Amino acid sequence: MFAFTKESEEKIETILAKYPEERKMSALLPFLTLTQRQEGWVSPEAMVEIGKRLDVSPAYVQSVCSFYTMYFQYPAGKYIIRFCHNISCYLNGSDSLLDYLSKKLNVEVGGTTDDKKFSLIKEECLAECSAAPVMRVNDDYHVNLTKESIDKIIDSLK
């Protein structure tokens, strides 16, 4: 069963305070984000709960959730690695680095490691072209990547 934690509930209060009561459905994206931060993904049960809170149908929640590729509708790893493969990074060798990382973690691009520690995702531009190649691990950016720096970053993650 899904339930918001106490901390999440506190955040919900702040979120809801930002929108007029009759427009509370506008709080849908913050709710989805909050849910994903709490659970690592947005489960169907969570969608039902969000729908109840915001007076929209679970179908609507799911339709919005599915538009944003950064929300997961399945359980993802503890660390979400988003690897840019857009033009600047590509010109700077991101494809071979992504390949390297995929072999290192022993997971296919788009997949999650068996120990549920890492999800490796190919991402469109992360808006950090001046420091390409770039990847993002959860909320942190890692720039000017090389095989060595990737090793270091991954090894530092518990």
Partner 1 sequence: MEKETVTLTIDGKTATVPKGTNVVDAAKSVGIEIPIFCYHEKMLRLGCCRMCLVEVEKMPKLMTACTIDATEGMVVKNDTPKVVKGRQGVLEFTLLNHPLDCPVCDKGGECPLQDNTFNYGAGDTRMEFKRFNNVKKKELSPVITLDRERCIACQRCTTYSEVIEGDQALVMHNRGFHNDIGTFNDQPYDTRFSGNVVDICPVGALTNSIFRFQARTWDLDNAKTLCAHCGCNCNIEFGARENELMRVVSRQNDAVDDGWICDKGRFGYEFVSSKNRILEPGIRKDGEMNVASLDEACDETVSKLKTIIEEHGPKSVGFIGSPFASNEELYLYQKLMRLGVGTNNIDHKSYDDTPGLPVAHYDFTDIESSDLTVLIASDPTEELPILDLRIKKAVTRLNRNLIVLNDQKTLMDKYASLSLRYNVGSDGVALAGLAGAIADSLKQGEAPKVEKLEKTTGIKPNSFKDFAEKMIAAKKVCVIYNPAALTGNSVAIVKNLLSVLNQKPEGECGAIPAAPATNALGAMDMGILPDFYPGGVSLSDDSKIKEVWGESAPTEKGFTTCEMFEKAASGDLKALVVFRSNPIVDFPGGDKIEEALKKVEFLVAHDMLHTETTALAHVVIPSVGPGFDEGTTTNIGGRVQYRRKGLKAESFPDWRVLAKLLSGFEIEAKYLDSFTVTAELAKKVSGYEEIRRGSIQKEGKTRPAQASVNGKTPEVTSPDSIDGFKLRVSEKLFAKDKILESESALAHHFSEPKAILNSVDAKKLGIKSGDRVKVSSGNRGLSVEAEVEDSCNPGAVVVSNAGDEYRVLALIQDHNATVQVSKE
Return the residue of 2, 60, 71, 100 that touches partner 1, per CB under 8 A: 60
Is residue 67 near partner 1 by the rule CB under 8 A? yes
Residue with smaller CB distance to partner 1, 58 or 93: 58
Which uninterrupted H or E stretch holds 19?
A: none
What's CA 143's distance to the chain center, in Å? 18
Count the site residues for partner 1 by CB under 8 A: 12
Nearest-10 crossing angle of helices 28-39, 6-17: 160
Q: Does 144 bind partner 1 (CB under 8 A)?
A: no
Asked whether position 62 contacts partner 1 by CB under 8 A, the answer is yes
Alpha helices in the chain (DSSP H): 6-17, 28-39, 44-54, 58-67, 87-91, 94-105, 147-156
How does DSSP classify residue 112? B
Residue 49 Cβ, how far from partner 1 at the closest point, in Å? 13
Cβ proximity of 155 and 118 under 8 Å: no
Dig out the tokens for 98 from the structure. Answer: 């992504």
Q: Which two tokens stand for residue 63?
A: 């339709």
Which lies closer to partner 1 via its Cβ, residue 59 or residue 87? 59
Rule CB under 8 A: which of 29-58 touch partner 1?
A: 44, 47, 56-58
For position 59 contacting partner 1 by CB under 8 A, the verdict is: yes
Look up residue 158 and give its two tokens. Answer: 């518990």
For partner 1, the closer CB: 58 or 111: 58
**CB nearer to partner 1: pick between 45 and 99:** 45
Regarding 66 and contact with partner 1 (CB under 8 A), the answer is yes
* Binding site residues, partner 1, CB under 8 A: 44, 47, 56-63, 66-67
